[in-house]
Amino acid sequence: MPRGRLVALGVFAAANAATAAAPSLAAVLGARIAAGACGGAFMAAAAATAAGSVAPGRRGRGLAVIVGGSSAATAFGVPLGAFAGAAIGWRPAFFGLTAAAALATAATATLSPHEGSRPELAAAAIPRGPVLLTLATTLTSGCPNG
């Protein structure tokens, strides 16, 4: 299994925990920069995984799910994050995001295809498999933005 996704998700979770626990604005900014860098690295790894996990004729669909998830994370995650930040405070909202990212990391490690898996089998699993798992992860990466 490509380790890039796991590293990016793990550091993303840690960066969100650092944001929630930050003692200063400078620490918040540093943690958000780290989380943003991990988000970019994750999206690149997710796109590569989507392309490599499906049959060649379905690569466009797999990539569309990843890009759609990223777009949906931006469109829905920002207002949901702002709502959560207003309702429970920005620190608890970021700790909640940390928990979601940790769960996504564990699910990715457990459910993602391993190297040498057969694309024709992964293509049959697109609606339930690694591409949707990655979509769920990208949907949580946009929130909160408190």
What residue spans define the domains of the chain?
3-141
**Taking the CB of residue 105, how many other CB atoms lie within 10 A of it?**
20
Rg of the Cα atoms in the chain = 16
| pTM strictly above 0.85 | no
Residue ranges of the chain whose pLDDT lies below 70: 1-2, 113-146
Which amino acid appears at position 87 of this protein? A
Percentage of the chain modeled with pLDDT above 70: 75
- pLDDT of 117 reads 52
76 vs 69: CA distance, rounded Å: 10
